[in-house]
Amino acid sequence: KAGVTQTPRYLIKTRGQQVTLSCSPISGHRSVSWYQQTPGQGLQFLFEYFSETQRNKGNFPGRFSGRQFSNSRSEMNVSTLELGDSALYLCASRGGSGTGGALGYNEQFFGPGTRLTVL
Amino acid sequence: AQSVTQLDSQVPVFEEAPVELRCNYSSSVSVYLFWYVQYPNQGLQLLLKYLSGSTLVESINGFEAEFNKSQTSFHLRKPSVHISDTAEYFCAVSVQTSGSRLTFGEGTQLTVNP
């Protein structure tokens, strides 16, 4: 099976612009989660989508949004970019419903990330 | 809310020496525990996990971690490290009923020197 793919891998934008990042999960996985990784704040959860519905959301401003399509591919959008949005954005996909117990636990698989630089 | 504290931001060791990377967590509900590894310019890879049962869990490349409920710890150990183990290691927790959301520690950079 192909792994989680993220496009683009690198992106440079200027303050005030908006950006869209894409994540294609492993085939058959319906859960996609997004994380932001920065040297100062570490790894922080942005949101999770399951079957086209946002299931969980982290503590980020409304400038950060996402969506999931019927083929489980997901996009996240950041509007009005700020310098502090410079980060590695990781997505992770997961099989199953994601709410089973220990016996039904499905591992999350991470993509290589998109490195966003805001100038 | 949950939180994870990794007690060492950097751990330098010599090749073939033992290593322990420390992780403590805080949660008012039951959690699953994980260690992830990140090599330069790559995403995260799951190293090992504790879901239930035996408190000692092992990975295929010689790492092990022990869940200690009373001390709310999940330290990662390896008896003999290799140069190729150089990477950043993240401890994480997930609330058992909250789907996929992971709360990560700040990370520990393990550097193995020859």
Find where tokens 């990377």 sit: B21
Taking 70 as the threshold, does the pLDDT of residue A4 lie above it?
yes
DSSP, collapsed to helix, strand or coil, labels residue A103 as: helix
Q: Cβ distance B62 to B112 under 8 Å?
A: no
Task: Mean pLDDT check: name the lowest of A69-78, A95-104, B34-43.
Answer: A95-104
Taking 70 as the threshold, does the pLDDT of residue A68 lie above it?
yes
Task: Mean pLDDT check: name the lowest of A16-20, A57-61, A103-107.
Answer: A103-107
Average pLDDT in the B50-74 region? Answer: 91
Alpha carbons A74 and A78: distance in angstroms, whole number: 14
Contacts of A35 in chain B (CB under 8 A): 102
Structure token pair of residue B95: 């609330």
How many Cβ atoms from other residues are within 10 Å of residue B80's Cβ?
A: 11
Taking 80 as the threshold, does the pLDDT of residue A82 lie above it?
yes
Alpha carbons A98 and A103: distance in angstroms, whole number: 12
Contact state of B101 with A33 under an 8 Å Cβ cutoff: yes
- How many angstroms separate the most distant Cα atoms in chain B? 44
Taking 80 as the threshold, does the pLDDT of residue A80 lie above it?
yes
> What pLDDT is recorded for position B55?
87
The 10s digit of each residue's pLDDT in B16-48 is 999 999 999 999 888 899 999 999 888 999 999
Which residue in B99, B102, B94 sits closest to B30, CA to CA?
Answer: B94
Whether residue A5 lies within 8 A of chain B, CB to CB, comes out as no
The 10s digit of each residue's pLDDT in B80-112 is 999 999 999 999 999 877 678 999 999 999 999
* pLDDT mean across residues, chain A: 93
Taking 70 as the threshold, does the pLDDT of residue A103 lie above it?
no
The 10s digit of each residue's pLDDT in A19-42 is 999 999 999 999 999 999 999 899
DSSP, collapsed to helix, strand or coil, labels residue B85 as: helix
Which residue in A63, A2, A76 sits closest to A32, CA to CA?
Answer: A76
Q: Cβ distance B23 to B68 under 8 Å?
A: no
Q: Cβ distance A35 to A57 under 8 Å?
A: no
Of the residues B100, B103, B108, B109, the best mutation for testing chain A's interface (the one with the most A CB atoms within 10 Å of its CB) is B100
Which residue in A110, A106, A76 sits closest to A93, CA to CA?
Answer: A110
Q: Cβ distance B4 to B25 under 8 Å?
A: yes
Beta bridge partners of A21: A76
Tell me the residues of chain A between 20 and 39 that have a Cβ less than 8 Å away from chain B: 31, 33, 35
Task: Give the angle B54-B59-B65 at the CA atoms, nearest 5°.
Answer: 50
> What pLDDT is recorded for position A100?
60
> What pLDDT is recorded for position A102?
62
Contact state of B100 with A43 under an 8 Å Cβ cutoff: no
Taking 70 as the threshold, does the pLDDT of residue A12 lie above it?
yes
Q: What is the DSSP letter of B95?
A: E
Structure token pair of residue A68: 């999931």
> What pLDDT is recorded for position A26?
95
